[in-house]
Amino acid sequence: MSTSPYEIESFLPRAQRIEEDCAHTTLAMYLQLGYEEVVREAPELRGGLTIGQFKRTAEKLGVKLTVLRRVPDLEDFTGVLWLRTYANSFRHTVLCFQGVICDPATGLVWDRETYLKKTKYKVERVLV
């Protein structure tokens, strides 16, 4: 069961093109758009996107995203996970599709629990 108002049935796994474009790549996967379409509407790539910039870019592309107040059960969840390291020194975004993670840093698809354990990321925010 998806809690996402923006429903997707499939996605094209993608790998980010530069170190700081994980949010751009995740948004392209989630909205099922080309990377270039997202980059055209997004702020400059340098430094990555904030959650606010991510939401505004989605709106420019015709989709209103919501930041959930609480992290839901991710077992069958579809949406964007905003991650951070436990030391809060690094943030990253990934697509969670029916409970499975697609990491744009590599383009690999992961079991959610294995990914979070191996990378030591913590889910900070969830967008749908």
Per-residue pLDDT of the chain (128 residues; tens, 9 = 90+): 344 466 788 898 999 998 889 999 999 999 999 999 999 999 877 778 999 999 999 999 999 999 998 999 999 999 999 999 877 778 899 999 999 999 999 999 999 999 999 999 999 999 99
pTM over 0.75: yes
Indicate the domain borders of the chain.
22-127
**Burial (0-12, 13-18, 19+ Cβ within 10 Å), 120:** exposed
Does the domain at residues 22-127 carry the CATH identifier 3.90.70.10?
yes
